[in-house]
Structure 1
Amino acid sequence: MPKAHFYLIDKPRFREQPLLLVCELAKKAYAANVPTLILARDPAQAEALDDLLWAFDPDEYLPHQIAGMDADEDEAPVLIASPDTDVPLRPLLINLRDAAPQGAFERVLEVVPADPAAREPLRARWKHYQTLGFELKKFDM
């Protein structure tokens, strides 16, 4: 059964820099040896994530790259894709876009903004995944 996990931003460090939570989630996936695809909202967010993944943990390098930048992207454990790139889905998706991903995957992680006004699209996605029979979980971060 596919899973959809919603991570609600709450802690001050994630409120200040929501993409830090994305880095933490990608780091956990990499440690578990799960190929991950981050669905960035736009090319600027993809670039910001790329920069942050280089710098967020000074003690550990998290291998990653932006889709469409290199021929061997299939080998990158963490791949960042903006909407203008067409890449195959991976077992784990971290979705930062407004729409739910379409296609076959095992698990999707949705990052929920701290701002209650920005949460409406995520409520709709929760219902969407529920309709599709996903196992749903919510975590306060």
Structure 2
Amino acid sequence: MRIEFYVLSSANPADRLRAACQLAAKGWRHGLPVMLRCANVAQRDELDQLLWRFRAESFIPHDLHEDDAEAPVVLALDEAPAIQQGLLINLNPSISPHIECFSRVIEIVNQEPDLLAACRENFRAYRQRGYDPKRVEL
């Protein structure tokens, strides 16, 4: 499994959601099933709205997990993926209980102190589980 921490230089939560949309679009265009794991319902709803208007020239087909768990891009909280071996974009501060279901995991880190601390903890936890997470500067 490939695990990457994409590090943003800003502390703006909106930049993190925009990066999630870009990464979801890229994963979907490469034929991967994509799951966006959100921290809470408010974030999920905000991301849902952002995906509708993210790029005027290209629609990113997506749906909430409870409405269509097999959509090309699925917005979820802690649900297990309906399609295995896809891409998980984790916006939740904790590690997904379903990471073994994915072939690739992306954690998006910004400079918010609480999130930075949680992501550092996740990086260590992935290592303790035997994974080799990589850091990618955005």
Shift of 1:114: 2.0
Shift of 1:117: 4.6
Match of 2:134 in 1: 137
Q: Percent identity?
A: 30
Shift of 1:136: 1.6
* Cα 1:95–1:16 shift into 2, 3 Å: closer
Q: How many residues were matched structurally?
A: 134
1:40 aligns with 2:38: yes
Tell me the SS of whatever aligns to 1:33: coil
8 Å contact from structure 1 (residues 67, 87) kept in 2: no
TM-score for both structures, normalised by structure 2: 0.87
Counterparts of 2:92 and 2:69 in 1: how far apart (Å)? 21
Tell me the SS of whatever aligns to 2:122: helix
Structure 2 unpaired stretches of 5+: none
Amino acid aligned to 2:103: E
Alignment of 1:1-141 (within 5 A): 2-10=1-9, 16-68=14-66, 70=67, 72-74=68-70, 76-83=71-78, 86-88=79-81, 90=84, 91-103=86-98, 104=100, 105-141=102-138
8 Å contact from structure 1 (residues 9, 15) kept in 2: no
Structure 1 unpaired stretches of 5+: none
The RMSD of aligned alpha carbons is 1.9
